[in-house]
């Protein structure tokens, strides 16, 4: 079983990395790009037989408390 967490900067937060990559894409000739936001992807491997619902609950807790900083980031959790 796997959990996939995508962490992205909140819209209100300055994302200079995203802006830099956006500029680079434009310079490289890619058109039509109106925004780039750079985040994090975390994959968590869970032991076989783990209770899916309980794990999801626990991971939401971990994502909120530790894996993401709610002041500056949003997260999306997917269980596989």
Give residues in contact with other proteins (CB under 8 A).
9, 12-14, 16-17, 20, 66-67, 69, 71-72
Nearer to other proteins, 53 or 71 (CB): 71
Residue 32 CB, nearest approach to other proteins (Å): 24
Q: Which long-range contacts (CB under 8 A, 24 or more apart) does 57-64 make?
A: 59/3, 59/5, 63/5, 63/7
Nearer to other proteins, 23 or 57 (CB): 23
Nearer to other proteins, 40 or 52 (CB): 40
> For residue 5, with 0-12 CB atoms within 10 Å meaning exposed, 13-18 middle and 19 or more buried, which class applies?
buried
């Amino acid at each position: 079983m796997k959990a996939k967490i995508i962490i992205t900067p909140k819209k209100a937060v300055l994302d200079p990395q995203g802006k830099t990559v956006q500029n680079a894409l434009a310079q490289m000739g890619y058109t039509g790009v109106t925004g780039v936001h750079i985040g994090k992807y975390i994959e968590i491997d869970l032991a076989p037989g783990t209770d899916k619902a309980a794990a999801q609950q626990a991971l939401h807790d971990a994502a909120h408390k530790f894996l993401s900083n709610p002041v500056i980031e949003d997260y999306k959790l997917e269980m596989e």
